[in-house]
Chain A
Amino acid sequence: MPGVSELFRGVCAGERERLNALFRTHGRGVEPDAALELLRRTVAPVVDALGAPAAGAAPAVATALFEVALRGQARGLFGARTAGAFETALVAALPRFGPALGRAPRRLLGALGNGWARLERELGRDTATRWLDAWSTVAPSCTASDEALYDAGLVLAWRFGLAEARDKALARAAALGPELCEALTGARELDPAPERRFAPPGSRARLGPPAVVARVGGFVGFGGPFARPPDVYGLGGRLYATDGDVVRELFADVFGARLVPTPLGCEALLEGASEAQVLTLNAAGVVDWDGARVSLPELRDAKSGARSPGVAAVALATSHAVFVLGRRAGGA
């Protein structure tokens, strides 16, 4: 294979049978030349970047990356002739994972690819790429265990807007220690109190009055989930929105707000909806929040409201969106 380093040439020679077997197994539909290009374009730079100190891990890294690349091509994660967005970001970031990559390359590559694919789908390509880059930056600090590395990736995904990961991320961040927690979130310690979910990590400022902090949802024709203006309900301490067909669960905090598919059916939601979680608001948009009354004119003529600790949701008869209410730090 011309144009590759001696190190990579040696790896290819040593792993020839394995690489060929991987191509036979996963490479249907991939031209042999394209597979060679994949090796040259993606696998070789990573192996070279690991360099001589990690030469022992190079064969395992190369075969794992080649397998993931072949499998990923069918899913559009890796390009056929030229590098895709994930591939480019991966080649740049992978060497920074250092020893963790050498210890379990297949697991790490799977996690990177799957995580990137999920974040791209949920939050967009730029966010997914920034997540991958940020993860690789903190990776050298995750020395306690391999699990710490994966926990760090999860905390970052939450920080980049994967709001449904909040509970797990708070728990994992606390276990990672103050230094790593600070590197991941900007604060050495996180306050798990639900009332402060819209305050930045580490902020001790007083909470401001309830305000509309986010709008989520939207009409199905414009990429949203709802065909009709939805209603919102509370059940089991959680918030849901439904248009009668589709049910979504609301997750929201300072890093983002998202409506996430849920296995809960519409019928079960309507049957089980909690009276105690109903948000009190009148036709003028005046919201009763823990005894305080706040006027929010944009919520005039609301048709349903629901709340759980630290967050509320409101639906209007005239909108396919769900309005998310919370208290930001310092009244911002």
Chain B
Amino acid sequence: MPTKSKQVSQAPTRPRPAAERHAFDVADLYSGPLGDAAPRDAEGGVPLDEKLRQAYFWVVNHAIISPFYDIEFQAEPPAAFALGARKVPLCLPTAQSYSSYVLLPLLNLAVRRRCLLVGGPGRGKTVIATLLALLAGYSLREVRQGIQHGQPQMTIADLLGNPLPSSLVSAKSMDEIQIAWRKWLGMRVKIIDEYNRIPTRTQSALLTVMGDDYAEIYDQIFECPPAAWYLTANDDAGGGTYQVIEALRDRIDVVVKALHFNTRFLAALLERIEEGVSPENAVPEEIVFTPAELDRIEREVRAVPLAAGLQKRIAFFASELEFFEPAARRLEYMTKDTVKVAGVPFESLGELEDPTSIGAQTRNGLSVRALMTCLVFAKALAYFRGNAEVSFEDVRQILPFVLHDKLVQHKTAPAFDAPEHAAYRSDLVSWIRMLFDRSCQEYDRLDRDSSDPAARELELFERGLEGLGERAVDERLAAIERALRDVEKGGKLYGHLYDDVLALKYLHQRYTNYRIWLRCRA
């Protein structure tokens, strides 16, 4: 442990080109060598994105030895190298870059979602979860009391609480039974250690708390406050003592893998032993967030805009993943979800027409929840970086961690047969990033920014139908039919076209109904 274990990086942690004006702030007077003492709760006080970055840099510099920069940003073309016989690319980032193992859990604290930390024993999974609870303002004792340690004998009562024996005896109805709820249910940071060692039945109770923010015993309900969840598991495959139920896995928003220990940093470990100070005991007060600050961060993250052009790229990517033409005879059901729900092996239905397409590499598409999580974490990353809006690179960097457990890989897809692609079977982060890159290449090749008939029709429709005459409606219906003819002429059906076709059909129906109404009124 470095001796300056309480030293917090000085603001600005992400220097930018000079602003044109500088307004004196009270923080200027009270900030300095003894740490930031500026007001904490006042709206417009300390910039909380700055504080988040200070927290990040304290963790990576003083708490978790994680000398990795796997979330890379470039300000200018980087120096690039090709290493080894496989010519593994190495880029030296030219802008501030981050370690996913620290950044993602911190963003999870900001947006209060559910983060799974995966890695072998002794990799610091529980330590980072504990540190984040300390950053949320809990004492070490409270955090330790609140950690739920998964074990094969864990019962629902162990997890949630017990009915008070006295009320069990005296109660005349279920309503009168009083429950001694476990304290962790009311915490704003919830830590479940080794969640894949929890028995299946108890996992179901955990699912209710995680998914719906309440616990239930004997008809009594405990409403849990919004919380950031941290679950740890030694086994990425969802194994462990018990198989994790799919619904529980699906509730996890972001998956972070503990990276290996770089032995070049052994000296830092030795120093830590010699100093005898553990990071949990040395969290600086300046980077501890109050509940009001965490609420404010969550609000501010949600307010970060995401431009329409970027939304279209995300939509294009998602549409390519869901479409599965062999799944049905009817257009609406041509999705991977149809096959999954039917319980039919994918292999029995054949493959997509284009086996190299990104859709051919997955066994599922993106759920609404997955898409929402992508958007939230992309906003969180942009906020953390102090950006006014979400950038393309924010989305590109965050997607693999959000979709890690959500996109099921088609392991035997022909795309992985090439030796240079085989590693994608185990390196899901690189695989998902590659899928998004390819999707964006295709988006650009099709010139979707300017050539997108469905988007044009949707935009027209969004302007409203008020005052629209029958003649104009006829023109729009004709335009929709022309757009569908063009798809027909193209021959092949792709994921993005599939969503376009369904959207055009939707518009056609809305206009048709409106025209019927116009005629009736006439």
Chain A residues with CB under 8 Å of chain B are: 21, 24-26, 28, 67-68, 71-72, 74-75, 77, 106-111, 113-115, 117-118, 147, 150-151, 153-154, 157, 162, 164-168, 172, 235-236, 238, 249, 260, 262-265, 268, 272
Contact = CB atoms under 8 A, between A and B. Distances in A.
Interface in B475-518: none
A265 B26 contact: no
Given A24-B275, A168-B24, A111 B30 contact: yes
Contacts of A166: 24
26 contacts: A21-B281, A24-B277, A25-B282, A28-B3, A72-B33, A77-B34, A106-B37, A106-B285, A107-B40, A109-B37, A110-B286, A111-B29, A113-B33, A114-B31, A114-B32, A118-B32, A147-B42, A153-B29, A154-B26, A154-B29, A238-B21, A262-B22, A263-B19, A264-B21, A264-B22, A268-B20
Contacts of B33: 71-72, 74-75, 77, 113-114, 117
A165 to B, nearest CB: 5
Contacts of B281: 21
A151 B26 contact: yes
Nearest to B45: A147
B6 interface: yes
Nearest to A163: B24
A25 B3 contact: yes
| Residue from B23, B25, B28, B277 whose CB has the most chain A CB atoms within 10 Å | B28
Given A25-B3, A25-B6, A150-B26, A113 B18 contact: no
A114 B277 CA distance: 26
A162 B26 contact: no
Interface of B: 3-6, 18-26, 28-37, 39-40, 42, 275-277, 281-282, 285-286
A110 B23 contact: no
A264 B34 contact: no
A278 to B, nearest CB: 19
Given A110-B30, A110-B35, A25 B21 contact: no
Contact of A114 (B19, B22, B34): B34
List 10 A-B pairs, minimum CB-CB distance, nearest first.
Answer: A114-B32, A263-B18, A110-B37, A111-B37, A113-B34, A111-B30, A28-B3, A75-B33, A164-B24, A110-B34
Contacts of B21: 236, 238, 264
Nearest to A236: B21
B27 to A, nearest CB: 10
Contacts of A147: 39, 42
A53 to B, nearest CB: 25
B225 to A, nearest CB: 24
B277 A25 contact: yes
A299 to B, nearest CB: 28
Contacts of A108: 37
Given A24-B275, A28-B3, A238-B21, A168 B32 contact: no
A195 to B, nearest CB: 21
Contact of A249 (B3, B22, B30): B22
| Residue from B30, B35, B281 whose CB has the most chain A CB atoms within 10 Å | B30
Nearest to B17: A263
Nearest to A121: B32
Contact of B34 (A21, A72, A262): A72
A74 B33 CA distance: 9
B290 to A, nearest CB: 11
B24 A165 contact: yes
Contacts of A165: 24, 29
Given A26-B6, A71-B33, 11 more contacts: A24-B275, A68-B34, A71-B6, A106-B285, A114-B33, A118-B32, A153-B30, A167-B24, A172-B26, A236-B21, A272-B20
Given A21-B277, A25-B5, A110-B36, A168 B25 contact: yes
A212 to B, nearest CB: 25
A185 B183 CA distance: 50
B26 A109 contact: no
A26 B285 CA distance: 14
B182 to A, nearest CB: 29
Nearest to A64: B285
Nearest to B276: A24
Contacts of A154: 26, 29
| Residue from B4, B21, B36, B40 whose CB has the most chain A CB atoms within 10 Å | B21
A297 B26 CA distance: 39
Contacts of B6: 25-26, 67, 71
Contacts of A235: 20
A154 B34 CA distance: 17
